[in-house]
Amino acid sequence: MHELGIVFYIIRDVKQVAEENHAGHISRVVMNIGEVSTIVPDYLTDCWRWAADKEDLLRGCILDVRTVPAVTRCEDCGAEYGTVAHGKICPHCGSANTYLIQGNEVEIKEIEVS
Ligand SMILES: [Zn+2]
């Protein structure tokens, strides 16, 4: 249950933000989850529901998961392409000299206070 660990990490962060802003309740948390991160969004929201409802601060709080598409850049020809479709090999020049520029995110984007 990798996702549950992530949920506890999110809750800890959100609590800290709420404390700093003297917020009594959080209504929505927006997450950016990269397409090639190891997180399964459905598991994440299931774990969230279970864990968040145990906290007064987060009862009924929505976890809004936004998927960030994975994009790889080729160092040799400069092309950017979809990682999921083509993997590590550049579809334009065949080079393996490539790196992921986005798509591995697991981050809190927004926290909405009610
Ligand atoms: Zn290339």
Ligand 1 centroid to 73 CA: how many Å? 8
Ligand 1 centroid to 32 CA: how many Å? 27
pLDDT at 62: 97
Ligand 1 centroid to 106 CA: how many Å? 27
pLDDT at 1: 56
Q: In what order do the strands lie in the sheet with 98-102?
A: 80-82, 71-74, 98-102
Q: In angstroms, how far is CA 18 from the centroid of its own chain?
A: 20
Ligand 1 centroid to 102 CA: how many Å? 17
Per CATH, the number for 2-69+102-113 is 3.30.2320.80
Ligand 1 centroid to 69 CA: how many Å? 19
Q: Which amino acid is at 7?
A: V
pLDDT band for position 16 (cuts 50, 70, 90): very high
Instruction: Give the start-to-end residue ranges of the domains of the chain.
Output: 2-69+102-113
Ligand 1 centroid to 39 CA: how many Å? 28
Q: Is the model's pLDDT at 96 over the cut of 60?
A: yes
Beta-strand runs (E) in 40-114: 62-68, 71-74, 80-82, 98-102, 106-113
Cα separation, 1 vs 30, whole angstroms: 21
How many CA atoms lie within 13 Å of 80's alpha carbon, on the beta-carbon side?
A: 7
pLDDT at 98: 98
Cα separation, 79 vs 111, whole angstroms: 35
Cα separation, 42 vs 36, whole angstroms: 15
Ligand 1 centroid to 100 CA: how many Å? 13
Q: Strand, helix or coil at 26?
A: strand
